[in-house]
A and B are shown apart, each in its own frame.
Chain A
Amino acid sequence: MNMHIFLLALLFAGLTTVLYLFLNSQYIKYRWTILNPVLTTTVALVMILLVFDVSYDTYMLGGKWVGELLGPAVVALAVPLYKQWELLRKNLLPIAIGVTAGSIVGLLSGSLLTKLFGFSAEMVLTMLPKSITTPVAMQMAEAFGGIPSLAAVYVMVAGFTGILVGPWLLKTLRIDSSIGRGIGLGSSAHGLGTAKAFEYGPEEASMSSVAMTLSAVVGSFLGPVIVWLFF
């Protein structure tokens, strides 16, 4: 990597981090849903890239450094999970049933609706894994014959739906337990939902991490079965 590219990468990694830290502080100050730091930072970065005519590939020279931290961060979720182990152990059955039901609904509803609206098989298969954490969703889309990078966009749409509309939906459905909130957020909105669950509290956060992980495991087994049965 030459010096020029290194500096460019450093600029984009730094810009992402600084923008996030600033916009996150604004979110903490006002607590408006619409100021969610992932949303505001993404919008700001997209506008900057468009204004300065920078391609996504160029941005990702540095962006990928920030994205790489997701790997160890997912590993780190084992710590809050371990601290809540007693609570989880007592609720193993509701967790397993809730996550499995969510996985089936998540995999089936999106893909069947896409088929019903007359989109191509490729589009149907790309929609399938959207409630599963990005790396697994991309691998699944690839294995089924979908488009991995577009699958990542759907995962993002699912994540934003979860964090922006989720709290309202949970309230409307009178989901007021840590298990209901955590399992709902983690099963439908994976890691972004889990980040949101941390705002509710440590119990919700652990439930959500479990739901996210279990969804990835259950989804990678159920996904191929659903493709084989329906498509």
Chain B
Amino acid sequence: MKFLLTFIQLAVLFGFYLLGEWLRALFSLPLPGSIIGFLLLFSALLLKIYPLKWIDSGAHFLLAFLSLYFIPATVGVIDYADVFTGKGVWLLVIAIVSTLLTMAVSAWISQWTARTALQKEGK
């Protein structure tokens, strides 16, 4: 029974994704269908249109293997090995440095802003 419930909920998640894809095509939105579906489901939960218990176990099951779904895309690096030879090595260095800069700035600023806000509340 639990298994069937999870399965139905997985189908609902797929439904939200397909709905997002459909809306994207219909209005030529710049966001992918998955993000649109995510925003739709989140709004539905927040506005209590769709109850949490009808999606909880399906979402939990799907997210348990989240990193698996990236693997086929990452294997794609096999076709681009030649781009990163010779001078192209710098492209990798740039991508790595830029990622670390992005992380440092966003993490530091959000933590600093959150703590400053807390201190002000405390006064």
Contacts and interface: CB of A to CB of B under 8 A. Distances in A.
Nearest to B79: A56
Interface residues of B, number: 71
Interface in A58-72: 59-60, 63-64, 66-72
B45 interface: yes
A6 interface: no
Q: Which of B41, B60, B72, B90 has the most CB of A within 10 A?
A: B72
B95 A181 contact: no
Contacts of B69: 66-70, 73
Interface in A174-231: 175, 177, 179-181, 183-185, 187-189, 191-192, 194-195, 198, 211, 213, 216-217, 220
Contacts of A188: 99-100, 102-103, 106
Given A82-B46, A169-B104, A71 B78 contact: no
20 contacts: A45-B75, A49-B75, A49-B78, A67-B71, A74-B34, A76-B13, A78-B45, A78-B59, A79-B63, A82-B45, A98-B109, A99-B106, A130-B99, A159-B74, A161-B96, A162-B103, A169-B104, A184-B108, A188-B102, A189-B99
A189 B30 contact: no
Interface of A: 16-17, 20, 24, 37-38, 41-42, 45-46, 49-50, 56, 59-60, 63-64, 66-83, 85, 91, 93-95, 97-99, 101-102, 105-106, 109-110, 113-114, 117, 119, 123, 127, 130-131, 133-136, 139, 143, 149-150, 152-162, 165-166, 169-170, 173, 175, 177, 179-181, 183-185, 187-189, 191-192, 194-195, 198, 211, 213, 216-217, 220
Interface in B85-123: 87, 90-92, 94-111, 113-115, 117
Interface of B: 10, 13-14, 16-17, 20-21, 30-35, 37-39, 41-42, 45-46, 52, 55-56, 58-60, 62-63, 65-80, 83, 87, 90-92, 94-111, 113-115, 117
Contact of A156 (B16, B35, B55, B73): B73
B74 A173 contact: no
Contact of B73 (A81, A134, A161, A217): A134
B17 A158 contact: no
Nearest to A183: B110
B8 to A, nearest CB: 13
A73 B94 contact: no
Give the dominant DSSP class at B's interface: helix
Contact of A198 (B63, B70, B114): B63
A101 B68 CA distance: 30
Given A42-B74, A110-B94, A74 B117 contact: no
Chain A interface main SS type:
helix
B110 A20 contact: no
Contact of A136 (B31, B46, B52, B101): B31
A110 B95 contact: yes
A75 to B, nearest CB: 4
**10 tightest A-B CB contacts, nearest first:** A98-B110, A184-B107, A102-B106, A180-B111, A63-B72, A110-B98, A135-B32, A188-B103, A187-B106, A94-B113
Contact of B38 (A102, A136, A195, A213): A213
Contacts of A66: 68-69, 71-72
